[in-house]
Amino acid sequence: MSGTDDPLIEPDRLAAELAQPDPPTLLDIRWRLAGPPGRADYAAGHLPGAVFVDLDTELCGPPGAAGRHPLPDPGTLQAALRAAGVRAGHPVVVYDGGDGMAAARAWWTLRWAGHRPVRVLAGGWPGWLAAGLPGTVEVPAPPPGDVTVRPGALPVLDAAGAARLAATDDGTLLDVRAAPRYRGEAEPVDPVAGHVPGAVNLPATQYVTEGRFPTAAALRDRFAAAGVRADRPVGAYCGSGVTAAQTVLALHLAGRTDAALYVGSWSGWVADPSRPVATGPTPAG
């Protein structure tokens, strides 16, 4: 992959693009699972020209039966992206506080919405500063964008689809949460512990470190070791579809651009008490 087809961009490359007459649109997606919102971090310093976009309220729908970070309403998402200056067909770069998870969910959301030229800044805000590049506290006022949200450009799993994928040998559903959560030994966020029956545990920490990925070949090997096969479907879930979006990004880097995200993830799965729950170290529990 090269240019805007590559889902990642290094700080020095971004700095060079920002110096051009028509630079990429920058979105700051700093976010923490337990809060507070990242807007205060943005106010304290951000990339020059970046606009803050809130993951919880602008890139996702309200929490509920579909999970803690469900798909956004297309009209609401389009309004937020246009307010941030996103233009149809124009490159976008998203970044976060360095772990790459919120930025990956933003990358996935824009791609799902039909906006293809979007990349994640490798290393996020800390990586930008570590490269000796400048920050600012100035808040830009970008001209309104004209992007049109067209949902469905990336594959999505609902609960039924996730169950089917996990229950057969025709594909692999990856649970990328920490092993104790998968085994049902601990659940710090959601009301029920365990995993989707048939899902394979591959904690995100086994293939990404502080938002940095290994080579495509190393990713392919790691996914293959977890049971992912090139000729069979693959999907991913986590607690609420944020970390798993980073898994989908990693799968894209490994060549699996057909990888599906179970957006509702575990928070959506357990919202319905009739759905089965497996515990223990194996897919069947």
Tell me which residues are annotated as active site. Answer: 238
For residue 48, what are the contacts with CB-CB under 8 A and spacing of at least 6?
A: 18, 134, 135, 136, 138
Residue 242 CA to chain centroid, in angstroms? 5
Cα distances (angstroms) measured from residue 22 to each of 6, 92, 106, 123: 19, 12, 22, 23
- Helical pair 243-253 and 101-112, crossing angle rounded to 10 deg: 70
Q: How far apart are CA 143 and CA 134, in angstroms?
A: 23
Tokens of 96: 């976060």
Q: How far apart are CA 58 and CA 143, in angstroms?
A: 18
Q: Which of 225, 282, 285 is nearest to 254 (CA)?
A: 225
